[in-house]
Structure 1
Amino acid sequence: MLNHGSINRRRLLRVGGGSLVAATIPTTWAIAQAKPVKVGLMLPYSGTFAQLGENITHAVEMLIAEKGGTLGGRPVQFVRLDDESKPEAGPQNAERLVKKDNVDVLIGTVHSGVQMGIHKVVRESGTLTIIPNAGNNDVTRSLCARNVFRTSFTNWQPAYGMGVALAKKGAKRAAFITWDYAAGQESGAAFKEGFEKGGGTFVRMLTLNFPETNFQPLLAQVPGLDVDAVGAFFAGGGAVQFVKEYAAAQLKPALCGAGFLTEGTLPAQGKAAEGIETALHYGDSLTGAKNEAFMKAFRAKAGRDADVYAVQGYDAAQLLAVGLDAVKGDLDNEAGLYKAMRGAKLESPRGPISFSDSQNVIQNIYLRRVENGLNKVVGVAVEALADPGTGCKM
């Protein structure tokens, strides 16, 4: 068996007359150069989160194209799988990509519940995985793994930032409304933590099952809570309906939340969203050549404006490129691959990002306000915010 990187790359052959001649033997590294890197995209391509999955995919493809179609000198082959945002199918779908399709890298997913199924499979298989959206805290906390990186956020980061910003603005009492699933529960807890750290009083968290959208029983409770503001975590179609119904109810407490409440949903929310403040790691009015070029290229490719999901997908591909370039496409060099990815400092459309010891992204959390149909950045809620990575041991 060849030991690539050693003198066994060459073999001495005895030919006529007893002389020796060197014959080059392809190493595993050299052989790898001719093979494509097989990247599994396990994302929602149907249902309420379909556009989110599509935007991530468009952005990944954009970065690969910018790199000339290769990463680390190797072409890229995509294997797409629609996870349908179904947590119960997560493990089986991940196993299909890892064991049947034999992907080298898995990029996924959006839904936190589905991510847990992926995580179980990739921790056991050791498959390099980059999370382009799902924010479950535990994935880069107590369940962290050396082969798993995240370029998006933890559920803690934007919600904590919103809580901090709300307290700074002088709000004294607040509540939170969300779906009763991992992302919602973790966001609500983080919002509470940030708000209370600033001296505010958190009153109550109101929930309903995912993906139900019967918000009226929850909205009916708001007037009796005596709060200055209501934080919320919803995304996609659910966020559109919630914002419209909150506005229609003419409730006095200001509506705010993690940025997904108004991210990619403003055209459908219309005037109902005007004035809502959210905290997120991206915003429509961010300046800089990187973001301007990204937005222009994304619109040309997708026919619509870029959003935070596209940014996260783009950075997932950027991070993969850093790793593969460092090892010249040799995925067997895991030590070099992971070292390069952990140490990556990327110029993202969102601004500079790096990675914590638990391999979660460190980034600015911006305070945004909806103005004239845009999530306008009006300040920085928390600068260079790193998730605490509680319980992570690699």
Structure 2
Amino acid sequence: MKLMTKLSMTTLVASCGLASAAVADVKVGLIFSLSGPGAVLGEEMRNGVELAYEQLGGKLGGVDAELIYEDDQRKPDIGKQAAEKLVRSEKVDFVIGPSFSNVMMAVHRPVVRAKTILISPNPAPAPLAGEDCNPYYFAVPYQNDQPAEAAGTYMNDHGIKKVYLLAPNYQAGRDVMEGFKRTYKGEVLGEVYTSLEQTDFSAELTAMKAASPEAVFAFYPGGLGIQFVKQYDQSGAKLSTPLYTVYTLFNGAANEAVGDAGLGVYASTPWTYNLDNPANTQFVAAYQEKYGTLPSAFAAMAYDSLRLIDGSIAAAGSADDLKAVRNAMTSAPFQSVRGDFEFNTNNHPIESMYLGQVEKDENGQYVLSNQATIVEHMPDAYAGECKM
């Protein structure tokens, strides 16, 4: 897979007449889950990066750039090996990735210890936003807890008094549930954590229905989420108990895989395809033209990640002084597809959160469509613990 992804990038460079790796002035390593059960996320992220790279003419901040892909297979030990290879052997200037929080916890230290800038296009574990924050680490999408905190706020505002919680038992699953409980004021009837490898949820759904909650809040990313939502629908639970989640499921190819089972499900999210701002309008149109489908939030955040590097090098005036580039990066010198975006003091976003709902658009595509703004200019809960 590593060979295939490198060949894919080489083909892109050649077909677009871009600068070759041999003369690149900036090297960006990308660690994504490109095979196995997490591949649906990694492939969307790669799409977003390659679209941004193509639009920028193979340059970042006006200088020639090379992209080097590594596949972590959603395994922390392989992710760590990839990180060490990129910073020691490839000597990259930036790392974008990985796709999952458990891999991020393994990747983070070897990258920032080498004083290489690490940019997360998806996971943002709580420890890295608080006590273990680092000036070389930036989270572009959100902090893991934030969308769940917004979901809890929304349920409070709409009188939902009893909920049932389900998530996989790993860093992001625990972060998301802690975020939800931080804001939700009602009664939690059950809090269930399942294996990250589990795909049969029949026992958990039977127990949930017996508890008779008013709503369910669940977090299952990638292929796990596709299976969970299908089984939720097949169990008949959706007819009486609305399902809430966060945006990590209902995006791009996953929408088609879930199909009608996803219709009506709610998700709190920092981005939807129909956010009305110029950067997003341009991005969605370009993505559809290139890939023939609507983009996912994973693609959008990876797209923003590469454009953050581009804007930061341009603002610093050179790629030679990476300290100046890092300092420029704190001011987020680019137009995000979210529109409303800035970095807090812990290099995590302050941004708005929206309520999305899965529906079919006029072309019959399954989409997560913006229904309402839940909260504006939302900081994360851990910034005060960051002492950098």
Task: Compute the TM-score of the two structures, normalised by the length of structure 2.
Answer: 0.88
- Corresponding residue pairs, total: 357
Q: Is the 8 A contact 1:368 1:375 kept in 2?
A: yes
Q: Take 1:66 and 1:266, find their aligned partners in 2: how far apart are those partners? A: 26
The corresponding residue for 1:173 is 162
Correspondence 1:299 to 2:288: yes
SS of equivalent residue, structure 2 residue 342: strand
Q: Deviations over 1:91-118 (max 9, x none)?
A: 2221011101111111111110110111
Q: Residues 242 and 35 (structure 1 numbering): CA distance in 2 closer, same or farther, change over 3 Å?
A: closer
Q: Is the 8 A contact 1:90 1:116 kept in 2?
A: no
106-115 vs 369-378, which deviates more?
Answer: 369-378
SS of equivalent residue, structure 1 residue 223: helix
What is the CA distance between 1:175 and its match in structure 2?
1.4
1:271 to 238, 260, 269: 260
137-146 vs 344-353, which deviates more?
Answer: 344-353
The corresponding residue for 2:189 is 203
Matched AA of 1:383: E
Q: Take 2:357 and 2:335, find their aligned partners in 1: how far apart are those partners? A: 24
Flag as ranges the 4+ runs of structure 1 deviating above 4 A.
none
Correspondence 1:156 to 2:145: yes
Give 1:127-166 correspondences, 5 Å limit.
Answer: 127-166=116-155
2:377 to 380, 384, 394: 384
SS of equivalent residue, structure 2 residue 304: helix
Q: Residues 326 and 218 (structure 1 numbering): CA distance in 2 closer, same or farther, change over 3 Å?
A: same
Correspondence 1:184 to 2:173: yes
The corresponding residue for 2:350 is 362
What is the CA distance between 1:390 and its match in structure 2?
4.3
The corresponding residue for 1:249 is 235
The corresponding residue for 2:67 is 78
Matched AA of 2:277: G
The percentage of counterpart residues that share the same residue type is 30
Matched AA of 2:341: I
93-102 vs 254-263, which deviates more?
Answer: 254-263
Correspondence 1:237 to 2:223: yes
What is the CA distance between 1:345 and its match in structure 2?
5.1
The corresponding residue for 1:342 is 330
181-190 vs 297-306, which deviates more?
Answer: 297-306
Q: Is the 8 A contact 1:56 1:309 kept in 2?
A: yes
SS of equivalent residue, structure 2 residue 321: coil
Q: Is the 8 A contact 1:345 1:354 kept in 2?
A: no
Q: Residues 94 and 333 (structure 1 numbering): CA distance in 2 closer, same or farther, change over 3 Å?
A: closer
Matched AA of 2:155: L
What is the CA distance between 1:333 and its match in structure 2?
4.5
- The answer for unaligned runs of 5 or more in structure 2 is 1-22, 361-365
Q: Take 1:331 and 1:242, find their aligned partners in 2: how far apart are those partners? A: 47
Task: Compute the TM-score of the two structures, normalised by the length of structure 1.
Answer: 0.87
What is the CA distance between 1:341 and its match in structure 2?
0.8
SS of equivalent residue, structure 1 residue 296: helix
SS of equivalent residue, structure 1 residue 214: coil
Correspondence 1:393 to 2:387: yes
- The answer for unaligned runs of 5 or more in structure 1 is 1-33
Q: Take 2:43 and 2:318, find their aligned partners in 1: how far apart are those partners? A: 27
Correspondence 1:280 to 2:274: no
The corresponding residue for 2:15 is none
Q: Residues 387 and 331 (structure 1 numbering): CA distance in 2 closer, same or farther, change over 3 Å?
A: farther
1:352 to 328, 340, 345: 340
Q: Take 1:276 and 1:109, find their aligned partners in 2: how far apart are those partners? A: 27
56-65 vs 89-98, which deviates more?
Answer: 56-65
Q: Is the 8 A contact 1:354 1:361 kept in 2?
A: yes
What is the CA distance between 1:90 and its match in structure 2?
2.4
Matched AA of 2:326: Y
Matched AA of 2:372: G
